[in-house]
Structure 1
Amino acid sequence: MFHHNHHHHHKNPMDHLFKKASGLFHHDDDKGDTNTQQIANTDIETSHTAKYYLARNDEIEEPGHVPRGDCASLKDVIHGPEDPTPYLDPLDDNFRHEIIKYGEFIQGTYDAFDFNTFSDYCGSCLYSIDRMFEKVGLARNGYIMTKYLYAMSRARLPRWLEKSWHPNAWNYDSNWIGYMAVSNDEETARIGIRDIVVPWRGTMAAGEWLKDFEFLLQHIGPDKDDDIKVERGFYSLYSSKSDDTRYNQTSAQDQFLTELRRLVNFFRARGEQVSLTTTGHSLGAALAYLAAYDAAQEFQDLPVTIITFGGPRVGNNKFCDFLEQRKVKAIRVVVKHDFIPRMPGIVFNKELEKIEEVADSWHWLYTHYGHVLEIDVESSPYLNHKRDSSGYHNLELHLHLIDGHISSSEMTKFRENAKRDAALVNKSCGMLREETLVPSCWYQPAFKGLVRNQLGRWIIPPREPEDIPPPPDTVTPLSVF
């Protein structure tokens, strides 16, 4: 059993406790925990400076273009019953590339998401199902996309869903929340199994977690007496639907399960071994756990793997027990100074650590489940060490640190042959040292997406017809496989 670190769940958190928690982690506050304070006030000594790395002439590895080795021998480690611990510490190179591969699938959901609140398609994917991988640089990733997933929620949530200010918006309730894709024949041969991947989009705004969050658990098990509970806000986003909406007359949960049945039944009918990998960052990590739970309920003999980055606690002990009973594998990538993995219930963490021996019987506790791969900001010669809660939570930062990570006994060392471009870290944050000469938050469309029309006015251009958000029942024909 490898879930751990129990948290107290409090039904009615007081406002001053939330303010206290918020103050712990916002970079403009003078107070902080010991680890965060240390990283803010020191500049690491390293034998390899950023300038040394930048002066190297070896070719970098682009997302989606990394030459990956034959991983068929790792099939049972990643998608089966074999214990991954020896491959995580020290981190096996092939395992490293597989973890980064799944992280890049998630990063694609950020790169393809329309965050522009002035756009009439804000909250949707910028591209069609058959063009998305190409547009975000993942065309050579070895997977074929089959479906988009949409989510909505009527619950009182932090700002997890983007809404358009446009008077004729595509919708006012739903957001594109992820997609489903399947390994092609070549990739299937390389990894040893036909893999269905479901990357769930998260949130890049770490500060939004503390705002208006209630931390209430609710039952999700088919039997109300089984005590399986998960955080209500996550489950609301995953399971909400409404007849009044175009894109969520079915929930993200229903959309996922319907497509999963279609894909699993198709490939099994051809005599193939099939696996499911649910993956996500931040909020998306929570959705990945919920999807894995449903898949394990639906298909008791389907290998299910969860790979998450910066994920919060999702459910209670019984939720984790169920995943373990169904042999669901989980790999949790965690940045040492990121506070999101300590949510929900962070305010009560230290009190409960003292009584962990009796915590197993408390069904109302939030509990983590999975093997942990902890990575450290201090290991990288490229990164500044200013306190930045948002930067610590950034997905590209996670992928950069995984690329350089060696082992738990060498947490402050960075792999010399790491080749992932460090500039990617600053796509949506400012964590790189100034001598790297990479500006903060550089990933954006030219002129912030504006173009000049025939009258000389700067406007947001209309979407190409093929890139208008497809309805949730749109799927790729299985004849492509």
Structure 2
Amino acid sequence: MWQEIHGSSNWDNLLDPLHPNLRREILKYGEFVEATYDAFDFDPLSEYCGSCRYNRHKIFETLGLTKHGYKVKKYIYALSHVDVPQWLKRSHAMWSKDSNWMGYVAVSRKEESHRIGRRDIMVAWRGTISPSEWFSDLRTGLELIDNTNVKVQEGFLGIYKSKDESTRYNKLSASEQVMQEVRGKGEEVSLTVTGHSLGGALALLNAYEAKTVIPDLFVSVISFGAPRVGNIAFKEKLNELGVKTLRVVVKQDIVPKLPGLLNRMLNKFHGLTGKLNWVYRHVGTQLKLDAFTSPYLKHESDLSGCHNLELYLHLIDGFLSSTSKHRWNARRDLALVNKGSDMLIEDLRIPEFWYDFPYKGLVLNKYGRWVKPGRQPEDIPSPLGVETPPKNGRPQPF
């Protein structure tokens, strides 16, 4: 029933109550997105700040994601001098002063493809770190995406489409890098695009392009905490193309209410403003979660904590229905919620923001000095797409 789980019927009768198979699928793609944070080097003191810490052949093994049966085919890079958060603009390190790692393309392995009934091409997009960044990042308007009335937020489009021949990693745009990998080979293929926060916005742009270029491809989007992306024409065109979008939001998260607080007022007058091309609209089917239903979470207002992807995954794992309590037999490790936040109640005695490298990444060298370690040669980003040759002497693509 993979097509139904991926929205062929717009998730009718699958969301409330939440079907167990759909819950597992959402969690799987959420973990793929979480990998873009866990593997991202955002240490401003690192010479590789803005890149992925691991090469594509070992990222799933390092982060414990081999259980899903996928392999990473390609890394995605985007220019950092377009409309992106201020903290990303600081990543002018040795490896690149122009680009940042934004995610990856993976495909299901042979055994997994046989189990799920098709070859699944999955694209995972990384988001921003703090929701406070959205207030400055979304002060831009809508821009035409083609020759119709379809308009999207120009900052998102800039990240997705920008390229520069003078750069090392973005001679091709993020869009072009992804679309090189989105091709069927005769067998039944699906494209699942997923992302959190800014990544959820990029996922929609990715899905729009893929379905426009390959009309027969089954395309679905599973986003977490994503903002509005485009106008009513963008929403209608996605529906016309047949892109299936499941938008997971947390009630207490402010980012899905952006960009523009004006939209909240205009929504009250939808009959008058519904067709205005300059008004942002959400797309797809919504799965709304409430942080207050979990007995393990603090109920203080914390914008950053409520936007955290691990909190989203915790709430999905515990969600049964809109009228039920957090399920008692939820399996996901509670400690994961505090990886990058301080949202768990103190009675659990889980340290806040605990996901960090020992000694802040410093190591003691043979001279007795604490230093920043260099990366393994195979983990150093390469614009040529080539890793250190393996033992047989044949280079493998990065």
Q: Could you tell me which of 360, 368, 379 is aligned with 2:282?
A: 368
Deviations 1:414-464 (A, max 9, x none): 001101001000000000000111010000111111101222111111110
CA distance in 1, matches of 2:312, 2:384: 31
Partner of 2:391: none
Q: Could you tell me which of 163, 177, 180 is aligned with 1:258?
A: 180
Aligned length: 390
Partner of 1:145: 72
Which is further off, 207-216 or 95-104? 207-216
Partner of 1:417: 329
Partner of 1:11: none
How far is 1:386 from its partner? 1.1
How far is 1:238 from its partner? 0.8
Which runs of structure 2 are paired with 1:306-385 in the superposition (5 Å)? Answer: 306-346=221-261, 348-385=262-299
How far is 1:352 from its partner? 0.9
Which structure has the larger Rg over C-alpha atoms?
1
Alignment TM-score, normalising by the size of structure 1: 0.78
Native 8 Å contact 1:154 1:240 kept in 2? no
Aligned-partner residue type, residue 324 of structure 1: N
Partner of 1:202: 127
CA distance in 1, matches of 2:150, 2:8: 24
Native 8 Å contact 2:83 2:159 kept in 1? no
Partner of 2:13: 86
1:246 aligns with 2:171: no
Partner of 2:53: 126
Distance 1:153 1:118, change over 3 A: closer
1:233 aligns with 2:148: no
Native 8 Å contact 1:277 1:305 kept in 2? yes
Alignment TM-score, normalising by the size of structure 2: 0.94
CA distance in 1, matches of 2:384, 2:271: 46
Equivalent position SS for 1:86: coil
How far is 1:472 from its partner? 6.9
How far is 1:143 from its partner? 0.4
Native 8 Å contact 2:80 2:100 kept in 1? no
1:117 aligns with 2:69: no
CA distance in 1, matches of 2:382, 2:235: 35
Gaps of 5+ in 1: 1-72
- Identity among equivalent positions (%) equals 50
CA distance in 2, matches of 1:329, 1:194: 18
Which is further off, 373-382 or 182-191? 182-191
Native 8 Å contact 2:55 2:379 kept in 1? yes
How far is 1:165 from its partner? 6.0
Equivalent position SS for 1:334: strand
How far is 1:156 from its partner? 4.2
Native 8 Å contact 1:147 1:472 kept in 2? no
Which runs of structure 2 are paired with 1:145-224 in the superposition (5 Å)? Answer: 145-159=72-86, 161=88, 163-164=90-91, 166=93, 169-221=94-146, 223=147
Q: Could you tell me which of 342, 346, 353 is aligned with 1:434?
A: 346
How far is 1:108 from its partner? 0.4
Equivalent position SS for 2:104: strand
CA distance in 2, matches of 1:82, 1:213: 33
CA distance in 1, matches of 2:350, 2:89: 28
Gaps of 5+ in 2: 388-393
CA distance in 1, matches of 2:241, 2:137: 34
CA distance in 2, matches of 1:453, 1:144: 34
Two-structure CA RMSD over aligned residues (Å): 1.9
How far is 1:155 from its partner? 3.2
